[in-house]
Copies of this chain bind each other. A is one copy, B any other.
Amino acid sequence: MWPDRRLLELLGIELPIVQAPMAGASGGAMAVAVSEAGGLGSLPCALLDPERVRAEIGAIRRRTVRPLNVNFFCHPVPEPDAESAENWYAKFAPYRRKFGLDPSSVASAPNRSPFDEDMCDVVEECRPEVVSFHFGLPETRLLDRVKALGCKVLSSATTVREARWLARNGCDVVIAQGYEAGGHRGMFLTDAVESQPGAMALVPQVVDAVDVPVIAAGGIGDGRGIAAALALGAAGVQIGTAYLLTSESMISSLHRNALESACDDGTVLTNIFTGRPARGLINRIVREVGPMSPEAPVFPMAGDATAPIRYAAEAAGSSEFSPLWSGQSASLSRSGSAGELTRDLATRAQDRLGMLARPD
């Protein structure tokens, strides 16, 4: 059925499709739907506290016995830098005035916490089959605890060097995250966005560089993309943007509308919302302050300055000041449920693979 069964056997899944964990945009309902359909459902935990993670995993376990991926960020906790924060905050004064916001008011952006002791306790308690990390791997002490549970460990590489590092440091599977991918880039050994390779180049070079199975990510939006990823040597794919338009997605209707009219060159990598480069649709604030600003405070602190403006704009029906995460293939997406999407992607990928070798 599938050309490479390594990932299926390693993770105990039927279809080589991983639903990308998308913090703030997907939760337990989507994870359940994808895992029940035979793919790997993922619970993003970067915006959740340990209590909430425990509750979410519990709720998922009551609805499916299939494998689950639980995803954490593992960025260094930044030292607060008052001067950088103040300068950054000052940049947004005109926008605060536009929306009549108190110039001295501070609203906190959603807090993104890295994987720590408390989270590791929850993982030990809940024992998800798969644990994935973004921005590298946690410190050895924590990673060893996760691996001792028998959890399969995944993380994203944006370059061959990062892939080699992840494989050498205990990853069971490497996600090769192409330049096309939406949301935060997993980069952790480089900060050079302008030399990041696209999936067509990255995937085969990562496959050649590491012995573990490789999951391709970035710009994969339909059965053709899955077939292409497998052709490049990937054992499976991770798909995000297409799931943003499913019924289980938690994005705002503003974000949904923007995705529905997205075009192939309508996204950029921007650091203005969090301090790290992430791909989203181009809107007014990205155009005017970004896309990449050298002044943005260190991740995740940049968000505190944009958050109040975003909320005011959204309340007024505008998405021009919101992070509208998206990969470069939003136009390939179709709506429906996450389970239907997963099965449909698999069927179309199979059809495509068959057609390639048996032309009429």
Please give the residue numbers on chain A whose beta carbons come within 8 Å of chain B beta carbons, in ascending order: 1-5, 158-161, 178-180, 190, 192, 194-202, 204-206, 208, 218-222, 224-225, 227-233, 263-269, 282, 291-292, 327-329, 331-332, 352-359
Contact = CB atoms under 8 A, between A and B. Distances in A.
Contact of A332 (B204, B220, B222, B359): B204
A205 B331 contact: yes
A356 B179 contact: no
Given A201-B329, A225-B204, A328-B201, A194 B4 contact: no
A199 B197 contact: no
B198 A218 contact: yes
Contacts of A179: 179, 198
Contact of A291 (B1, B194, B230, B328): B194
A195 B159 contact: no
Contact of A205 (B195, B208, B329): B329
Given A180-B198, A208-B332, 11 more contacts: A1-B359, A3-B355, A161-B265, A190-B265, A194-B292, A196-B265, A201-B218, A205-B264, A205-B329, A353-B356, A353-B357
Contact of A160 (B192, B198, B263): B263
Nearest to A267: B195
A229 B232 CA distance: 9
Given A353-B356, A359-B2, A220 B200 contact: yes
A328 B197 contact: yes
B180 A356 contact: no
A332 B196 CA distance: 17
A160 B264 contact: yes
A181 to B, nearest CB: 9
Top 5 closest A-B pairs, CB basis?
A198-B198, A357-B357, A201-B219, A201-B328, A200-B219
A264 B197 contact: yes
B200 A198 contact: yes
Contacts of A352: 231
Nearest to A359: B3
A229 B190 CA distance: 28
Contacts of A208: 331-332
Contacts of A3: 355-357, 359
Contacts of A266: 195
A353 B331 CA distance: 27
B159 A265 contact: yes
Contacts of A2: 359
Contacts of A192: 265
B221 A204 contact: yes
A204 B329 contact: yes
Nearest to A163: B264
Contacts of A4: 359
A273 to B, nearest CB: 16
A17 B2 CA distance: 27
14 contacts: A5-B359, A179-B179, A194-B292, A195-B266, A198-B200, A201-B218, A201-B327, A204-B329, A208-B332, A227-B228, A230-B231, A353-B356, A353-B357, A356-B356
